Amino acid sequence: MTAPRNVVLAGPMGSGKSAVGRLLAQWLDRQFVDTDALISAATGESIPELFEKQGEAAFRELEADAIEAVCERDSLVVAVGGGAVLDPGNAERLRRSSRVVVLDATSEELAARVEGGRRAGQRPLLDGVEDVTARLEALRGERERAYADVAHASFDTTGQSLERVAAAVAAWLEEQE
Ligand code: S3P
């Protein structure tokens, strides 16, 4: 029997990748891995610290390494950062090794969900941004093609509880067996 493929949650900041991923991992009795957390553990720096001290390009290299590492494993539920699938190498690796689920929501709802973390300085790409909805909308324009291309399945989480989203993803996964 082949080992179960990883389940990868991708999509924009605030789409619920980590929260849904944690719940899904619990239900499926799998380990949950967040690539941002792997990067922080490997470097001893938070994501905002890495952006500030080393810049986004250095962060993207570390992100590619983290993605390569998770793709060599199986049976995981993985949340990747919102920009991870823009790199074609990352996207290809993830699609080949895993079932890739893209979560999304309206930019207004994403903005509301990230506001607390943003104020706490946890969102380097939204640092000092006045109109967060507009910024997220601009990122959507830059990224939606990459999300659509990498997705084996996509879910709109607007107005949905974590449990409902996780249940919808779990039902889809069951259909893939
Ligand atoms: C980023 C999203 C963040 C994190 C970094 C960059 C992005 O992850 O990787 O701040 O490019 O959208 P989350 O999507 O988990 O917030």
Angle of helix 107-119 versus helix 132-150 axis, rounded to 10: 110
Q: Percent of the chain scored above 90 by pLDDT? A: 97
Length of the chain in terms of residues written: 177
Whether 103 shows a pLDDT value over 70: the answer reads yes
Å from CA of 2 to ligand 1 middle: 32
For position 1, what pLDDT does the model report? 60
Å from CA of 123 to ligand 1 middle: 7
**What does the pLDDT average to over 17-43?**
98
Closest ligand 1 atom to 56 CA? 6
Q: Percent of the chain scored above 70 by pLDDT? A: 99
Å from CA of 81 to ligand 1 middle: 4
pLDDT band at 2 (very low <50, low <70, confident <90, very high): confident
DSSP string, the chain: -PPPPEEEEE-STTS-HHHHHHHHHHHHT-EEEEHHHHHHHHHSS-HHHHHHHH-HHHHHHHHHHHHHHHHTS-SEEEE--TTGGGSHHHHHHHHHHEEEEEEE--HHHHHHHHHHHHHTT--GGGTT-S-HHHHHHHHHHHHHHHHHHH-SEEEE-TT--HHHHHHHHHHHHHHH-
For ligand 1, atom 4: residue with the closest CA: 81
pLDDT band at 177 (very low <50, low <70, confident <90, very high): confident
Å from CA of 32 to ligand 1 middle: 17
- Give bridge partners of residue 87 from the DSSP assignment: none
- Give bridge partners of residue 156 from the DSSP assignment: 104
Query: pLDDT tens across 67-102, in order?
Result: 999 999 999 999 999 999 999 999 999 999 999 999
Q: Which residues line ligand 1 (CB under 6 A)?
A: 13, 17, 36, 47, 81-83, 123-125
Name the pTM for this structure. Answer: 0.97
Residues 168, 146: Cα–Cα separation, whole Å = 22
Query: pLDDT tens across 130-176, in order?
Result: 999 999 999 999 999 999 999 999 999 999 999 999 999 999 999 99
